[in-house]
Amino acid sequence: MKPAPFDYVRPDTLAEACALLAGDEDARVIAGGQTLVPMLAMRLARPLRLIDILRLPELAGIREEAGAVVVGATTRQAHAERDPVIRASVPMLARVLPWVGHPPTRNRGTVGGSIANADPSAEIPLAAVTLGAEIMLATTDGPTSMPADDFFIGPMLTTIGQGECVSAIRFPVWPHQRIGVGFFEISARRSDFAFVAAAAQVALDDEGRCLDVALGVGGVGDRPLRLDVSCLLGTKLDAASVSEAVNTASLDMDAMSDLHASAAYRRRVASVLCIRALEQARGNASAKSWKGAR
């Protein structure tokens, strides 16, 4: 349980970090290290050089933009969990964060680290895909970005290339007044990897009709999946419509099979959790008054 030797570099700027990464294919980024260090300890990863980006000032912090909240890549999960801006404007992220690891790992683990790690059952990538977040990247040619849905391409696989580094995640903020989120997860123990996780966010008008809806599942496929339930727009999210929409949307959903859960089990649980998440989201949204501030 001791890592193989490596060089440790702590660059002063993001550009320097990208240049180091571009020039060395055996280099890896380390930030919180809550997934990477166990991999190193078990020697499942043996990079020759670690580039520590945790203290780069341009990567930290949470800021509000028009119609979005931008969460810096090295923002600690524990910090994001308690952040008033995230609670108010990206409630889904605030809702899933307590399910990410344990308090001690959230104190070190970063939001961007979970995104770059791309575990198919991880909650932060699920929230990013479900809400249609943008992954912002720093490259040697300057900043670029891409939709979360395109960024994740498989288990622990992203489109990120050599010399690139996740710099921030841009979560869209819904303009509606009555927004509710729902989240359910099944795992062997609390805070273990999810066999299935489902996240939903809905916006309702003053009569309880659905103005906007987003639904996603994690742990089922080889990456987080966003389900198309746009047929629910305009409905009152009654049980029959919700279950029909979920069943239609999850018909051709790819599911993984492993020692812990079969593909059939995952698919079945995914449908149930999606329905529950939508119901919980509707309940939370209707509890908010139409006139009340978010």
Partner 1 sequence: MKVDLRINGTIHSADIEPRKTLLDALRENFLLNGTHAGCEHGVCGACTVLVDGEPVRSCLMFAVQADGYDITTIEGLAPAPGELSVIQDAFCETHGLQCGYCTPGMILSAHALLQHTVTPTREDIVEAISGNICRCTGYGQIIEAVEFAAARLRIANTPRPQHGAPHHAQADQPIAEPK
Site string for partner 1, 253-292 (x = CB under 8 A): ---------------------------x--xx--x-----
Q: Is 112 in the site for partner 1 (CB under 8 A)?
A: no
Confirm or reject binding of residue 4 to partner 1 (CB under 8 A). yes
Among residues 23, 26, 64, 82, which is the contact residue for partner 1, using CB under 8 A?
82
* SS3 state at 106: helix
The answer to whether residues 197 and 126 touch, using CB atoms and an 8 Å cutoff, is yes
Among 37, 45, 68, 156, binds partner 1 (CB under 8 A): 37
Q: How far apart are CA 182 and CA 69, in angstroms?
A: 20
Binding of residue 239 to partner 1 (CB under 8 A): no
Six token digits for residue 120? 């198919």
Residue 119 as a binder of partner 1 (CB under 8 A): the answer is no
Residues from 87 through 106 that contact partner 1 (CB under 8 A): 87, 91, 94-95, 98, 101-105
CB nearer to partner 1: pick between 3 and 147: 3
Among 18, 60, 77, 83, binds partner 1 (CB under 8 A): 83
- Residues in contact with partner 1 by the rule CB under 8 A: 1-8, 30, 33-34, 37-38, 40-42, 50, 52, 54, 78-79, 81-84, 87, 91, 94-95, 98, 101-105, 107-108, 190-191, 280, 283-284, 287
